Amino acid sequence: MIERTLSIIKPDAVKNGSVGGILARLEKAGFKILAIRMVSMSKKQAEGFYAVHSARPFFGSLTDFMSSGPCVPLVLEGENAIAEYRKIMGATDPAQADAGTLRADFATDKEKNAVHGSDSPENAAIEIAYFFTGCELAG
Ligand code: CMP
């Protein structure tokens, strides 16, 4: 099934100059980049995006980090894009991520882990709508 998923190149990866490297990997893997922008989220906007994690002990630190500088949200489209992108992204903790995954190659630690990816079709729809509107998703 052709799906869409939301990816974010996080502030750590933007700061250290990994945007181009990550985009090249995504294109090489066959994803269509349907939409892309650069956003500097406020603390409140980061809290809104990660609202499902608001009870977690790392919520404050995560939202500080996500509002610490520009990030690059993008919409990827492709066959089983949600699961396929999660495979390429690798485990949350880069120390546990398989060799050759984005997090193994670009992330620093569990929090500054270079990239985000939606975990279900429901969350992909919510997360895409958080950053992009109809016209931007025309492909
Ligand atoms: P992401 O895929 O964007 O979804 C939630 C984020 O919370 C995750 O990536 C990490 O950046 C962060 N996160 C998850 N677990 C931890 C943890 N134990 N400590 C700090 N940050 C975490």
Q: Report d(CA 96, CA 116) in Å as an integer.
A: 16
| Residue numbers of the domain that contains 77 | 2-133
Q: Report d(CA 119, CA 6) in Å as an integer.
A: 9
Domain count along the chain: 1
pLDDT band at 38 (very low <50, low <70, confident <90, very high): very high
> Mean pLDDT of all residues in the chain?
97
Catalytic residue among 66, 116, 117, 124, which?
116
Q: Ligand 1 centroid to 52 CA: how many Å? A: 12
Residue 139 resides in a domain:
no
Residue 46 resides in a domain:
yes
Residue 115 resides in a domain:
yes
Q: Ligand 1 centroid to 123 CA: how many Å? A: 16
Q: What percent of the chain has pLDDT over 70?
A: 100
Residue 61 resides in a domain:
yes
Residue nearest (by alpha carbon) to ligand 1 atom 20? 111
Instruction: Tell me if 110 CB under 6 Å of ligand 1.
Output: yes
Residue 85 resides in a domain:
yes
Residues 57-91 pLDDT 10s: 999 999 999 999 999 999 999 999 999 999 999 99
The CATH number assigned to the domain holding 67 equals 3.30.70.141
pLDDT at 134: 87
Residue 80 resides in a domain:
yes
pTM (predicted TM-score): 0.97
Residue 127 resides in a domain:
yes
Q: Which atom of ligand 1 is nearest to the CA of 10?
A: 3
Residue 58 resides in a domain:
yes
pLDDT at 108: 95
